[in-house]
Structure 1
Amino acid sequence: MNRSSIMASALVCAGALALSACTTTKTSGPGSSSDTGDTGPVKIGLVTKTESNPYFVKLRESAKAAAEAKGATLIALAGKFDGDNEGQVTAIQNLVQQGVKGILITPSNSAGVIGAVKQAEEQGVLVVALDTATVPADAVSATYATDNEQAGRLLGAYVKARLGSTPPQLLMMDLDPSASVGIARHNGFLQGMGLPLETPAVIGSALTQGDQTKAQQAMENLLQRAGDKVNAVYNINEPAARGAYQALKARGLTGKVLVGAIDGGCQGVQDVKNGLFVATVMQFPKKMSEDGVTAVIDYAKTGKKPSGFVDTGATLITDKPVAGQESKDTAWGAENCWG
């Protein structure tokens, strides 16, 4: 890439309304102009929910590496926070203007971005979802993601087994009622526990945005009302679980409460090993990114769109396995974690 090209790329990134990180990679290879008939390498857009969350950092890094390996260009943007639908819409529009062939998106709220997705596809841009399915699912051509209900079920079944005959008294650290991933994990957890969606076993819940500080504050408030009745805490992700744990620790309840999470980040695996969490459910963002990049490259070459939901897997990580449920220990988790 010559100096003028580098400067042009920098100006494009700076002009993207300061949404978030912009990553551009250009090399020769299978996705270059010789295969696509275009004047340069295939451009792929990535829109994540946030820039700083380690999970989305890994998603971005993996997409960049996969694009480089195929001679493509990756332009990565993000919302300012989980739920920044306006920011994601602006990112989609900017990417279309920059001539991307496909957009990979982790939608904060699918209802908030579907209009922009439809407009992009009307202009010949392939849009696929990573990590989080849209509602309806066919709003995008394909989805590469964890089966979030299954991830919730794995955690719920484990917590149920660990409680044994003790009646559950649950606190739920949720995401957002409009976020499909949060709904799926919440409902899946209760299914795994063998409980209906409306159950008195849930003695309190809070919306955390998957943020550690918000989760800690929410848990402190819930404990003031729930007292010492709680015996298990569901968490939408590992940052929320860390916040919940800190609040429980301040009340001297950590030895009495089972704290579980979903994510599979390296810090989360370490938290399981150190006894902060009884278990976490690992996702595989690297596979999501690689599959998404491959789909865009194939579309650029052949015009064929991917379709349907592709489950990229979920694995329960714990050092205290229970009979009848498959799991991996933290040694395996450390070898396969992200972040």
Structure 2
Amino acid sequence: MRTSTRATRALVCAVAASTALGLAGCNRSSDSDTGGGGGGGEAQVGVALITKDSTNPFFVAMQEGGKADAAKNNVKLTIASGKQEGDDQGQITAIEDAIARGDKGILITPMSTGVNAAIKKAREAGLFVIALDTPPDPVDTVDITFATDNRDAGKRIGQWAAGQVAGKPATIALIDLFSDKIVSVDYNRDQGFLEGMGIDVKDGKKNGDEAKTGKYTAAGGGDYTIVCNEAGNGEEAGGRSAMEKCLAKNPDINVVYTINEPTAVGANAALKAAGKTATIVSVDGGCAGVASVKSGVIGATAQQYPLKMATMGMEAIAKIARGGEKPKTTEGLDFFDTGVALVTDKKVEGVESITSDEGSKICWGK
């Protein structure tokens, strides 16, 4: 999916308007919290928001956005999460708790296919389940997904990266999310990045099976070498460790794809410690990540909108519980697309983008 400059500017304005309430109260939350009251006299609706963890700024912003909007919709919101990325059991317990409470619906960023059975149990119990950010596999595990088009996000940073090397050899490090779990957000961003650079992928749902050397075709094309596919677990420390492993294999890496911005910061620390520089690209668009674009640590990032995901999801469940219509997927997709914009201060011809100053006006987190 590509947008015109006018459409990109419209997205910025729309997101700024839709997230203003959430941005006003964006502080860290505990693992469990509730909100409710108000709502014009209609019966209160119980909703569970279950994120992967409560420390990643992306999920913190999602939690804060949900809390800020709960009273407006007369929702009793319960927030829960896994202890960290990969904690399937933590999410399963939270799902079972939502069923036991008699909640009307669940908003969840599913950890992996390991939580699918629990989601099925919730739906069988009559709860409406919406996935946020991470479409489950298969996608019909939930009623609907509200998410960034992660494939598109990956393609945008791949197109931009190709424009930066512009015909020169690209020596690439890929720092993914997991090595022991298959998650759609992981392979969609990784494979989208490669597609954006014009590198052939084999199985679009599998990281690491593409040819390790060949030609990239975007931005005039050139030779490429993929040095590594390492897992950073979405964390700064993991990003640094993964980058160190990649540099040990080839110290001449000049392009680094990262699953998210904490990973990118860690990768940059490893490069700096080794006395190396590289073009780093990422996905998320949090305020810290946008600041890293402005400072030059990250060359470009694809910005997504967790506040919008959480508030739209909660509003949808409240509406359904009161007899309203169920949400529909975006035309041509199997989920509802909540939008994405490329943030960079080094514009590449033919790749739509906004500046870090523009991105900072609609970013999330602290």
TM-score by length of 1: 0.89
Aligned partner of residue 326 in structure 1, secondary structure = coil
| Residue 275 of structure 2, aligned match among 245, 249, 252 | 252
Give the structure 2 partner of residue 188 of structure 1: 192
> 1:155·1:189 contact (CA, 8 Å) conserved in 2?
yes
Cα deviation code 1:223-271 (max 9, x no counterpart):
112122x1100000000000000000111112xx101111101111111
Identify the residue that residue 128 of structure 2 maps to in structure 1: 126
Question: Where do residues 196-275 of structure 1 align in structure 2 (5 Å cutoff)?
Answer: 196-197=200-201, 198-200=210-212, 201-228=225-252, 230-254=253-277, 257-275=278-296
Determine whether 1:305 maps to 2:311: no
The match for 1:292 is 313
What is the deviation of 1:303? 5.9
Corresponding residue for 1:17? none
Aligned partners of 2:200 and 2:169: how far apart in 1? 14
**Does residue 136 of the first structure (1) align with residue 138 of the second (2)?**
yes
- CA distance, structure 2, for counterparts of residue 205 and residue 98 of structure 1: 42
Cα distance in structure 2, aligned partners of 1:287 and 1:28: 21
Kindly provide the amino acid, as one letter, of the partner of residue 27 in structure 1: G
**How many Å separate the matches in 1 of 2:235 and 2:328?**
32
The answer for the alignment partner of 2:86 in structure 1 is 83
Contact between 2:232 and 2:241, CA under 8 Å: does it hold in 1?
A: no
Structure 1 residue 136: Cα displacement = 0.9
Aligned equivalent of 2:50: 47
1:50-199 → structure 2 map (5 Å cutoff)? 50-109=53-112, 111-176=113-178, 177-197=181-201, 198-199=210-211
Please report how far the alpha carbon of residue 26 of structure 1 lies from its aligned counterpart in structure 2 after TM superposition: 2.1
Structure possessing the higher radius of gyration over alpha carbons? 1
The answer as to 2:351 corresponding to 1:325 is yes
CA contact (8 A) 1:141 1:305 kept: no
Q: Give distance in 2, aligned partners of 1:305 and 1:318.
A: 36
Unaligned runs of 5+ in 2: 1-29, 202-209, 213-224, 330-334
CA contact (8 A) 1:210 1:236 kept: yes
Match of 2:9 in 1: none
Partner of 1:13: none
Structure 2 matches for 1:14-53, cutoff 5 A?
A: 21-30=31-40, 34-36=41-43, 41-53=44-56
SS in 1 for 2:34: coil
More divergent stretch after superposition (192-201 vs 155-164): 192-201
- Residue by residue over 1:70-93, the C-alpha shift from the partner in whole angstroms, topping out at 9 and shown as x without a partner, is 121100000011111111111100
What displacement does 1:167 show? 2.1
2: CA distance, partners of 1:236 / 1:160: 17
Contact 1:128/1:142 (<8 A) preserved: yes
CA contact (8 A) 2:33 2:77 kept: yes
Residue-by-residue CA offset, 1:27-77 (whole Å, 9 max, x unaligned): 1214xxx434xxxx1111010000111100000010111211112110000
Alignment partners' CA distance in 2, 1:89 and 1:70 = 26
Measure how far apart 1:296 and its partner are. Answer: 0.5
| Aligned partners of 1:233 and 1:260 also within 8 Å | yes
How far 1:304 moved relative to its partner?
Answer: 4.0
The AA in structure 1 aligned to 2:244 is: E
- Residues 126, 305 of structure 1: 8 Å contact kept: no
How many residue pairs match? The answer is: 309
Runs of 4+ in 1 over 2 A off after TM superposition: 303-308
Offset, 1:214: 1.3
Q: CA deviation at 1:196?
A: 1.5
Partner Cα distance (1:133, 1:284) in 2: 15
Shift in Å at residue 305 of structure 1?
A: 3.2
Q: What do the CA deviations read for 1:308-334 (whole angstroms, capped 9, x no partner)?
A: 311001110001101111100011011
Amino acid at match of 1:186: D
- Measure the CA separation in 2 of the matches of 1:28 and 1:285: 24
3-state SS of 2:291 partner: helix
Which of these residues, 320, 336, 339, is aligned with residue 362 of structure 2? 336
Aligned identity (percent) is 41
